[in-house]
Structure 1
């Protein structure tokens, strides 16, 4: 896929505004929803809007920007997912607390395979033939 990340290469770093908060994804709940720990110390149920859901892959541990709801403090809407380098920049600017660990997952996928161990499921199950009964 040529040019897939063209517009994401160097985008401007987005800082939170009034009514927004930085958060870290705790777990994915499916159906465009996730649980995130916001930097104000409140755990919120967040919703990924449809437009973003199709384009941006959000994973556990990712740093995101959420829009808070005046009428529902326990819920929020995902506005943006920060890339690993952007999250590191936010940390350097003092926008994120020091204890936040930034996911490196989206930095490099190609050379990642060198450290991974691969195994065959056949080895585990004692051969494929025993599974298909």
Structure 2
């Protein structure tokens, strides 16, 4: 039987919630842009709609992988590439409070819904999943 070599399993090595403390709000600089995640593609990549109106394929940098979990609807800061305009690199993920602060400072436009599952370019259709029970009764009576 193997000997126990440590003081616990891998959960102990992971540590507690280290990202809980408040951090300073980081604004965009030259060569950077704010974006909202449209969908996750896997393999450390995602589609993002940038604030400048361009949809880009973004790559999550290695320092963020398996430490910062990015999901659909999140507000992120991306570093633009000089040689490829349709691709970018994810530099930072803003939490909900930071994204609301960016919106309050006027960095993000008003049409963005902060950390919502519906990205900014999602189209809303009134008849998607709504129906009226009275209409169903009328259809049944006609049959």
Task: Judge conservation of contact 1:33–1:47 (CA < 8 Å) in 2.
Answer: yes
For the pair shown, the structure with the greater C-alpha radius of gyration is 2
Equivalent-residue separation in structure 2 for 1:70 and 1:30 (angstroms): 24
Backbone CA RMSD of aligned residues: 1.8
SS of the counterpart of 1:53? coil
Aligned residue in 2 for 1:97: 109
Q: What is the TM-score with the length of structure 2 in the denominator? A: 0.69
**Segments of 4+ in structure 1 off by > 6 A?**
none
How do residues 51-130 of structure 1 correspond to structure 2 at under 5 angstroms? 51-103=63-115
Structure 1: give runs of 5+ residues left out of the alignment.
106-133
**1:28-87: CA deviations, max 9, x gaps?**
000000000000000000000122012000000000000000000000000000000000
Q: What is the TM-score with the length of structure 1 in the denominator? A: 0.74
Aligned residue in 2 for 1:19: 31
Aligned residue in 1 for 2:55: 43
SS of the counterpart of 1:44? strand
Equivalent-residue separation in structure 1 for 2:102 and 2:61 (angstroms): 23
Task: Judge conservation of contact 2:102–2:108 (CA < 8 Å) in 1.
Answer: yes
SS of the counterpart of 2:100? helix
Count of residues in Structure 1 that have an aligned counterpart in Structure 2: 105
